[in-house]
């Protein structure tokens, strides 16, 4: 029988991606599944801070073991921007196309297009806190490519590939992505700890 754990997200794409990675050992519930309709505001200025803020909110309010993540695209030529502000880079609307358009415009005159995706997963089990990081290096393409994935996937090309995340498909992406790397560390941890 699979164990239940909450992933503090309303993002159905992320929930599906992570649930596939944790299946069949874990039944991953999203915020909607536990009746949490609030939008937990990300008010911290680091990925780590935001990840723990969301996990702590769920643990304290619902008394459920929970993990949360925050991910940022860190572009070398932009001093690590958009980073912690990746989801709202072009404004509070959290529109992926607007975010990508702004990033591509800001990189137009830059020769260095190197970047990395970084995911931080914060886990709270029985009040104990744990952190897992995942990084994938690559570069920002000059235009949008592919239809799979979400966020910046159409413009991020991971190292060792000539295709953007959005062209690779979920099966390949789930093996090499920043979230996959952080999630694998989470899986390794959960497989050796009782929850």
Peptide bond into 87 cis (omega under 30): no
Domain that holds residue 54: 3-190
- Residue 195 forms part of a structural domain: no
Mean pLDDT over 153-162 rounds to 95
Asked if 70 is an active-site residue, the reply is yes
In a domain, 12, yes or no: yes
Answer whether residue 120 is part of any domain.
yes
CATH number, position 132: 3.90.950.10
State pTM to two decimals. Answer: 0.86
Q: In this predicted model, what pLDDT tens digit does every residue of 47-86 receive, in sequence order? A: 999 999 999 999 999 999 999 999 999 999 999 999 999 9
Which candidate in 27, 70, 153, 162 is catalytic? 70
Scan for tokens 């994935």, then name that residue. Answer: 149
Residues 6+ apart with CB under 8 A from 123: 55, 66, 67, 129, 130, 131, 132, 186, 189
CA torsion sign for 43, 46, 48, 51 is positive
Number of domains in the chain: 1
């Amino acid at each position: 029988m699979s164990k239940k754990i909450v992933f503090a997200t309303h993002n159905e794409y992320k929930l599906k991606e992570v649930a596939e990675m944790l299946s069949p050992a874990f039944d991953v519930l999203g915020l909607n599944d536990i009746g949490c309709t609030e939008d937990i505001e990300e008010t911290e200025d680091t990925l780590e801070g935001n990840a723990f803020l969301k996990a702590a909110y769920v643990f304290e309010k619902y008394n459920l073991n929970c993990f949360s993540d925050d991910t940022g695209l860190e572009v070398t030529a932009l001093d690590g921007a958009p980073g912690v502000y990746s989801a709202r880079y072009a404004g509070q609307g959290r529109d992926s196309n607007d975010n990508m358009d702004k990033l591509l415009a800001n990189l137009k005159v830059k020769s260095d297009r190197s970047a990395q995706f970084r995911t931080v997963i914060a886990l709270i089990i029985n009040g104990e806190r744990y952190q897992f990081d995942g990084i994938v290096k690559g570069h920002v393409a000059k235009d949008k490519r592919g239809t799979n994935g979400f966020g910046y996937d159409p413009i991020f090309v991971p190292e060792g590939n000539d295709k953007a995340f959005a062209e690779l498909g979920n099966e390949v992406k789930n093996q090499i992505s920043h979230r996959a790397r952080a999630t694998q560390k989470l899986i390794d941890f959960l497989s050796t700890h009782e929850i």
